[in-house]
Chains A and B, each alone.
Chain A
Amino acid sequence: MYKIVLAFRYFLKRRITHFAVLAVALCVFIVVVVMTVMTGLVGDFKQKNHDFVGDCVVGTESLVGFAYYEEFVNILEEQKDFVEGVSPVIKSYALINRKGSERNEGLEIMGIEPLRHSRVTGFGKTLNYHKGDVSKTFEPAYDPNLLGCVLGVDVGRRLGNVMSPVRDADGEYFYESSPTPAGYSISCFPLTSRGALSKAGAGLVSTKTFYYSDTSRSGLARVDFSLVYLPFEWAQRLCGMDGSVKRASAVHIKFKPNVKLQAGCEKVASLWQKFKQRKAGERQAYLLDTVTVQNWKDYRRSSIAPMEKEQTVMAVMFAFVGITTVFIVLVVFYMIISHKSKDIGILKSIGVSNAGIMELFSGFAFLVGLLGSCVGLLGGWVFLLKINRIEDWLFEHFRFQLWDRTIFAIGDIPNQVNLKVLGVIVLSAIVACLVGALLPSLQAASSTPVDTLQVNQL
């Protein structure tokens, strides 16, 4: 009982303790704010990638694509127990020229069936004009008979279309009430199944004019800046994948809600292996060798990995903040314990054990850690709740933004606190305090009463 009473008294009466609490609170505050924002940004980025891809992708990086995809799509669609939707996709590169402009840009194209693709990915939600009726995505409102295309939200500007949506400093886009008529000439190099130019000697390229029907805002900077969606059949035709054996670049899959990602992907991989074996003797079976089955995280690894690396670097940096906390507490406890050496001698003279001394100062450190982390947590939470308003105010008065919204594809600063992360931070702060107090406590416990009472008269 004396440990609890004395730990509380030392905690309340020693002014230096307040500095230790403040140091812990500041460290916790910084870690809570930065980790929440970083975790939010990474989580948001991952979710956008997930929305863009679906759960699983069976595909190839080869521009030739792979054959017999329709049969595999049929097999997948029969898997009612775990497959929610399937969407074949054509992916390639094209030269795009806005009608009336001299400017050509090399962009990525993606051929999709909008309804199917919306069932598998978040595509439908990224549209501006066709959110309510995705089936008419490629029907420009100004003339539904024209062949439409969907531009990444920043592609129009890139192609010199001044009527394209513009992003303001708050990160919001301003759209016209309906899409303004604009034609885009899209040219591809169609390839044979062997990768040769299929139109060799006949102009080499396939060109077709598409009309702006909508924009897609995925929230992924690279996608929004360089991707043009086309009707599946037309993309297939432009890329030369519409031969007697049709080809596609990938098949995107969405699993039923109760299916775990890894389990679903393993099932798809197994189906793919069987399919591949069955097709082994077919004419274009060699194209199946480059096909991989990946979950969305692996498929988008090249985009996600740098962000995760950044998060890891931040975590390491904050581990150093934690180490700093340990040292602050260590120094404070050395000071406190050196002031309290007489008390240690008194306590030992009335029968307190070494373990009792350790527990007393550990309890003291626990209180410092607990109060410090609670204060830091509360401060961090309040700051996070107001972080967007603070940023708005700073922008309004000083034109300062943490992230320039004209460059970064984020809206509000993420401020959703993760209780698990908070728990880990509080626990780490308390452990840091206990670790910081360990050495001085050990030293205090191992001192002899005669030394600590400073009895120097022999």
Chain B
Amino acid sequence: MSKDDFILKADGIHKSYRMGVAKVRVLKGVDLAVKKGEFVAIVGASGSGKSTLLHILGALDKPNKGVVKFEGRDLSRHSGSELNRFRNKMVGFVFQFYHLLDELSVLENVFLPVMVGKSVVGWFACRRWAKSRARGLLGQLGLSERAKHKPYQLSGGERQRVAIGRALMNEPRLLLADEPTGNLDSETGNGILEILEELNRLGQTIVMVTHDESIAQRAGRIVTLVDGKIEHKSIRA
């Protein structure tokens, strides 16, 4: 396997937080490599540091020590504007609590990343394409009828599908999902996992964080995080 096959590589990631006078070491030297087109599940108990790791991988947070490379480029060497561009174009986030903007409609929430990535003139030049792509994504996610609704008018599962649509809007190379089913009932959660599986089948690289082993089983590879370290790796047969 050549090193170019890895879309994401984390080496010796350390992260600690201050909690009052105490210093809590969350990650204690995590190594992780994700290949293009892979579906990786990071499993661990609550407090094991899996969400922290996901945020570091997506450049939402910075490690105290260690290197994260995306397509061979060290993220710590990115400038502020390059990191913003990275978050806008290269990765898509799906959060446990959906995190949609209540002031925007479902359709607007989905095409928001395109709007963020463009200037006023740029947006006017591509807005038809963006709206059309957003409608297409909503169609694929079974939300065509909900385009004009506001997020608070949707069910939990529908909101998470909107969040997935938003994450996919800029065709990111990496999809990061933080407990995407954690706030949903099992049936709805299963629907979301099916969507993620389908996306992966179409070539989308996905890193998902979950505390639920059964959900992790749906991924191609499972990484177990225990006490801030990768303890166990398994590959689905």
Contacts and interface: CB of A to CB of B under 8 A. Distances in A.
Contacts of B120: 1, 4
B55 A455 contact: yes
A450 B55 contact: yes
Interface in B147-204: 166, 178-179
Interface in B106-136: 108, 112-113, 115-120, 123-124
A80 interface: no
Contact of B99 (A9, A10, A345, A450): A345
Contacts of A345: 99
A345 B178 CA distance: 15
A5 B108 CA distance: 10
B127 to A, nearest CB: 8
Given A345-B99, A453-B95, A458 B51 contact: yes
Interface stretch (B28-36, B67-75, B85-93, B212-220): B85-93
Contacts of B58: 349
A457 B81 contact: no
Contacts of B104: 5-6, 9
Contacts of A353: 80-81, 84
Interface residues of B, number: 43
Contacts of B24: 458
A347 B103 contact: no
A458 B26 contact: yes
A348 interface: yes
Contacts of B52: 458
A10 B102 CA distance: 10
A350 B113 contact: yes
Contacts of A453: 95, 99
A457 B118 CA distance: 33
Nearest to B61: A450
B37 interface: no
A348 B95 CA distance: 13
Nearest to A456: B51
A167 to B, nearest CB: 61
Given A2-B116, A450-B61, A458-B26, A351 B55 contact: no
Contact of A448 (B47, B61, B84, B89): B61
Given A2-B116, A450-B61, A455 B166 contact: no
Contact of B101 (A1, A343, A356, A449): A343
A220 interface: no
A344 B81 CA distance: 17
Interface residues of A, number: 28
B2 to A, nearest CB: 30
Interface string A4-43: 1110011001000000000000000000000000000000
Contacts of A342: 99
A10 B115 CA distance: 17
Contacts of A1: 115, 118-120, 123-124
Contacts of A126: none
Contacts, number: 85
A349 B90 CA distance: 11
A221 interface: no
Interface string B1-34: 0000000000000000100000010100000000
Contacts of B63: none
**Dominant SS among interface residues on chain A:** helix
Contacts of B87: 348-351
B51 A349 contact: no
B55 A6 contact: no
B115 A2 contact: yes
Nearest to B87: A351
Contacts of A304: none
Contact of A351 (B113, B119, B124): B113
Contacts of B178: 455
A458 B113 CA distance: 27
Contacts of A458: 17, 24, 26, 46-49, 51-52
Given A450-B55, A450-B60, A351 B85 contact: yes
A450 B100 CA distance: 15
Nearest to B90: A351
A1 B81 CA distance: 17
A140 to B, nearest CB: 78
B84 to A, nearest CB: 5
Interface of B: 17, 24, 26, 46-49, 51-52, 55, 58, 60-61, 80-81, 84-89, 93, 95, 99-104, 108, 112-113, 115-120, 123-124, 166, 178-179
8 contacts: A2-B112, A5-B104, A9-B103, A350-B87, A351-B85, A353-B84, A448-B60, A458-B52
Given A349-B95, A351-B86, 16 more contacts: A1-B119, A1-B120, A1-B124, A5-B108, A5-B115, A6-B104, A13-B103, A347-B116, A350-B93, A351-B88, A351-B117, A356-B116, A450-B61, A453-B99, A458-B26, A458-B47
9 shortest interchain CB distances as A-B pairs: A351-B88, A9-B103, A1-B123, A351-B87, A2-B115, A351-B84, A350-B113, A346-B99, A449-B60
